[in-house]
Structure 1
């Protein structure tokens, strides 16, 4: 599923202007491939930064990882369920989007605005969901 969905999601993100400054991904082969295909679809050249801690990480671990990132950049975080889904809910809160509450499908994209200047100031619930796009919505 991700082989087809990731490039389409990259193309969609590029059309919407949701292009990341940085890409950090799990060291798992499928996650790295998803990140690479997303970037190809977006026609974007970025180095994929492999981060072993993302594999099987909880939302709390992923939040801590984000808090250590330099500020000012937009980041594409490519990880695994349930951690990535739980992180999205942790950042924006449940009840914001019924589809996001329900499931985070393979290659789905949650665009979350973080109203902080420095990632170190990131806290649970202070993100704002801009969009949640599932691959099946792209046709």
Structure 2
């Protein structure tokens, strides 16, 4: 079985309008969310064998704050990628559990295209910052992955991890 963890970067900082989009860091809420997502991944025994991460500052900072024991592979092609580019990168992956960190709208479209049945969650369609899908695939290799074959194991958004009732 292969497992994909598909994560949108956490909330970015828009305080400096002169900063190029690629270079925007996380804001305070985003840093807190990324740390909480890392704790959630560890609590669910979801440490990836391979991490594919956009080169944008906010995706790299999200990845660093997850505090996972593996360094990411940075891919410029993941910056604002559309589903076909994401699928190409995933098909070249070698890990059994792969974490991909990217951007909307592509990551939301990619998540929707991969799952046989979407999760019963009101935020799945818009895939807010930090949204994380965990899907399992029965095929033996990523190279053979076909859209619509993923079985949802988890879907979580940071607000569920950081907001207290």
Residue deviations 1:91-121, cap 9 Å, x none?
0046543435432111121111121110011
- Conservation of the 8 A alpha-carbon contact between 1:94 and 1:101: no
Secondary structure in structure 2 of the residue aligned to 1:25: strand
**Cα RMSD for the two superposed structures:** 1.5
Instruction: Report the CA distance between 1:10 and its aligned residue.
Output: 0.6
1:1-139 to structure 2, matched below 5 A, reads 1-38=29-66, 40=67, 44-70=68-94, 72-93=95-116, 95-138=118-161, 139=163
- Conservation of the 8 A alpha-carbon contact between 2:48 and 2:99: yes
Q: Tell me the matched-pair count.
A: 134
- Conservation of the 8 A alpha-carbon contact between 1:21 and 1:74: yes
TM-score scaled by length of structure 2? 0.76
Residue deviations 1:59-83, cap 9 Å, x none?
121012111112x521110000011
Residues 82, 61 of structure 1: alpha-carbon distance in 2 compared, 3 angstrom cutoff = same
- Conservation of the 8 A alpha-carbon contact between 2:108 and 2:127: yes
Q: Which of the pair is proportionally richer in helix? A: 1
Question: Which structure has the larger Rg?
Answer: 2
Give the structure, 1 or 2, with the largest relative contact order (CA under 8 Å, sep 6 or more).
2
Structure 2: gaps spanning 5 or more residues? 1-28
CA distance in 1, matches of 2:34, 2:85: 24
